[in-house]
A = this chain, B = another copy of it.
């Protein structure tokens, strides 16, 4: 760590609202796509992780700054950078950029949860991949 993962995506009609820009909740969708592709790149299979170990990731805390609006048809980049990992927590920085301009920046705290929703230690093989 830290190695930054990058995902490109396009803004579609579904992402905008009547003010003509991307609706504020939809940046959280964009960064979740970024996390999913980052996890895939680490060769972690979320579906298997849930089926075999009963572990899922959930967002516990989010701090987000909306710096400039994204618009329909924009090509955006989601940058995901792991910043720290403890027993059950992963802290990430996730940014959304357009042509190098920072539009949205978030600090995200993930926790590992059991199927009953209780915090659990990250499986060892996951911790290894994050160090």
Contact = CB atoms under 8 A, between A and B. Distances in A.
B17 A28 contact: no
A61 B65 contact: yes
B14 A25 contact: yes
Contacts of A26: 25
Copies in the complex: 4
Nearest to A36: B12
A32 B25 contact: yes
Interface in A1-51: 10, 12-14, 16-21, 23-26, 28-29, 32-33, 36, 46-47
Interface in A61-86: 61-66, 68-69, 71-73
B23 A20 contact: no
